[in-house]
Amino acid sequence: MWPYCSQPLYADGLPTIFNITILNGYGIGGEIIDEPIFESFENEFDSFLDVHIEYSRRIWPWSGYLAVFIKINSKASNFNGIISAQIRLKVKTADKIDETTFKFRIKIIPTPSKSQRILWDQYRQMRYPPGYFARDNLEQKNSPLDWNADHPHTNFKNLYENFRKNGYFIEISGHPLTCTNLSSYSTLFIVDPEEEFFPDELTEIQKAVKFDGLNLIIFADWFNSTLIKKIQFLDDNTGKLWFPETGGTNIPALNSLLNIFGFSFGDIILNGKFEFGDSVINFLSGSTLIKAPKNGRLGFAKLDDIVSFVFMVLQNGIS
């Protein structure tokens, strides 16, 4: 099942999370009795796996969930093979008890070299409805909301698949970066973050870049404080007027990281196309650099400032 089949697991990698939906056809309500049981069919390899299971004890209405966290420990650092396993659980509906089994196989390879490993920071991705997070592309008028955030398995799927075809391994972090050993990775991707950085995270990133050779790649959508105040949103569910938590990217938070390295983004929003090698790049509602170190190597392109256009659209009552 994609995307799990697209990348094998290995020791020292972040835990892989499998989300399983349980559908109960015997009744609208039920419950999982006893703890779900994880079993490996190859007993000699049991020690390679660290498994944690979370689940909804009550199944209502009709459905519940099973979350399986699998981490390959250091004993499998040089292992290359497949481990077959299953999870058994019992569901009780009224007076009926039924046992369900989920069978799967785990492909494990020796831990890749640091140069092949990429870390994707998913922790800073926020989306509606927990808060009003505006769309990334301001010219997209059919919806003002960012429903899906950014993820290598969704809107960055092509990038993910291209990395995999070229022998890279992508690990997705859903926790603060202080929970991960950054020295294990060649590159850290931070893509359109909405959440801020903890001070300790900034320190760890700086150390990893300076002492461990970590490469830092950052994508930044739009941010303009004046525009943010003008795109308020009446939420039908709550009946309240919502204001954006930030722009397409939280540039002030991002600048707290970039300033360490002498870079800074501004609040000009640009649109347009430019050539990069043999490719034509669509630059949509993106931010621009306003500061860079003297020895920095920069790219330049002739693009359109769309802030005045967006203000005109808002004044005409078009959302």
Q: Are residues 211 and 275 in the same domain?
A: yes
What is the model's pLDDT at position 313?
Answer: 60
Distances (CA, A) of 298 to 25, 80, 262, 289: 59, 42, 13, 9
pLDDT score for 145: 75
Range of the domain at 219: 114-315
Residue 69 and residue 172 share a domain? no
Q: What is the mean pLDDT of residues 147-160?
A: 89
Residue that is last in its domain, among 60, 93, 108: 108
Residue 67 and residue 152 share a domain: no
- Cis ω on the peptide bond leading into residue 252 (within 30° of 0)? no
Q: Output the pLDDT for position 309.
A: 63
Which tens digit of pLDDT belongs to each residue from 72-90? 999 999 999 999 999 999 9
Please say if the pLDDT value at position 319 is more than 60.
Answer: no
pLDDT in tens, 34-51: 999 999 998 888 899 999
Domain boundary residue, one of 84, 108, 132: 108
Looking at residue 68, its amino acid is V
How confident is the model at residue 227, as a pLDDT?
A: 85
Note whether 84 and 188 are same-domain residues: no
Whether residue 208 is found in the same domain as residue 309: yes
Say yes or no: 181 and 288 in one domain: yes
Say if residue 70 is in the same domain as residue 208: no
Same domain, 96 and 225: no
| Residues 93, 120 within the same domain | no
**Claim to verify: residue 144 and residue 288 sit in the same structural domain:** yes
Q: Are residues 166 and 122 in the same domain?
A: yes
Largest CA distance in the chain: 74
Confidence of residue 314 (pLDDT cuts 50, 70, 90): low
Q: What domain count does the chain have?
A: 2
Domain check: are 278 and 132 in the same one? yes
Say what the pTM is. 0.90
Q: How far apart are CA 117 and CA 129, in angstroms?
A: 33
Domain boundary among 108, 136, 168: 108
Within 13 Å of residue 129, how many CA atoms lie on the same side as its CB?
5
